[in-house]
A and B are shown apart, each in its own frame.
Chain A
Amino acid sequence: NAGVMQNPRHLVRRRGQEARLRCSPMKGHSHVYWYRQLPEEGLKFMVYLQKENIIDESGMPKERFSAEFPKEGPSILRIQQVVRGDSAAYFCASSPLAGGYQETQYFGPGTRLLVL
């Protein structure tokens, strides 16, 4: 059973470009969470999704950031018009049950975004 997969592992963008980060949850998992980790900091929650549904986006910046988890395919975190402050590691996690945040989350290896 493959773990949570994220791609790309590393992404370099120039200011103003778009970044698309993909996350495939573990097989059988229908809940996906996105986190951002800035250098020397812990992870900060961004958004919690189920298939075709955003459950909690209280941690998402109000502008330029969006997330989706379509019926088919991976979850996508999109950052439009990136700025240098978006440089961070973005982690995706998935969980299998409907228990929400208190269920164990399984993390992917992360995507490291560098904005030049």
Chain B
Amino acid sequence: AQSVTQLDSHVSVSEGTPVLLRCNYSSSYSPSLFWYVQHPNKGLQLLLKYTSAATLVKGINGFEAEFKKSETSFHLTKPSAHMSDAAEYFCVVSDPGNDMRFGAGTRLTVKP
């Protein structure tokens, strides 16, 4: 059965510095992996999606994630944080035929 672990419940960075949000997954198959962002009192917005094509996936707003099968990781990165990036981020895994499993989320704080 698939599962996902977000290693940090809270990450704090200064504006202009790099962002790293860590995600490890467990899957018996070739999973699809997603990162979603949730701003306060809003719905979820898809940042990027991996589906067994290129291992480095580029998303919106300058975010990207690298699929590393040997490490079962799908960490989200951004070279330079912006104040508007402050939000909750969810890593999601889905095996073929199975529902999406969400991580517990990482709250990103961006300090001026």
Residues of A that sit less than 8 Å from B by CB: 4, 33, 35, 41-45, 48, 56, 58-59, 91, 93, 100-102, 104-110, 112
Nearest residue (CB) in B for A43 is B102
Partner of B51, one of A41, A102, A112: A102
The segment from B37-45, B60-68, B69-77 found at the interface with A is B37-45
Partner of B32, one of A42, A102, A108, A112: A102
Partner of A109, one of B42, B102, B105: B42
Partner of A108, one of B43, B49, B98: B43
Please, how many residues of chain B have a CB less than 8 angstroms from a CB on the other chain?
A: 24
Say yes or no: is B13 at the interface (Cβ < 8 Å to chain A).
no
Contact present for B99 and A58 (CB under 8 Å): yes
The A/B interface has a contact count, at CB < 8 Å, of 54
Residues of B that sit less than 8 Å from A by CB: 32, 34, 36, 41-46, 49, 51, 90, 94-105
Instruction: List chain A residues, Cβ under 8 A from B51.
Output: 102
Given A42-B102, A112-B41, 14 extra CB contacts under 8 A: A41-B104, A41-B105, A43-B102, A44-B102, A45-B100, A101-B32, A101-B94, A101-B99, A104-B46, A105-B46, A105-B100, A107-B43, A109-B42, A109-B43
| Nearest CB of B to A7, in Å | 13
Partner of B103, one of A42, A100, A109: A42
Instruction: List chain B residues, Cβ under 8 A from A44.
Output: 102
